[in-house]
């Protein structure tokens, strides 16, 4: 998705997630807790 940047380590595993302009994407009330689900 545009605006989402994933950082990978040498083993090609995701080690970081950056969401650009998060305040514009998510209501302020939802910023207190952010959950990430992986398949």
> What are 14-24's pLDDT values in tens digits?
999 998 998 88
Structure tokens at 10: 């040498």
User: Rounded to whole angstroms, how far apart are CA atoms 23 and 34?
Assistant: 12
Give domain limits for the chain: 1-31
pLDDT of residue 11: 98
User: Rounded to whole angstroms, how far apart are CA atoms 21 and 30?
Assistant: 14
- Tell whether pTM > 0.85: no
User: Rounded to whole angstroms, how far apart are CA atoms 18 and 14?
Assistant: 11
Q: Nearest 5 degrees, angle CA 4-CA 37-CA 17? A: 30
């Amino acid at each position: 998705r545009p605006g989402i940047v994933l950082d990978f380590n040498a083993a090609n595993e995701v080690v970081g997630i950056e969401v650009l302009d998060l305040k514009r994407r998510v209501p302020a009330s939802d910023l207190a807790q952010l959950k990430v689900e992986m398949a």
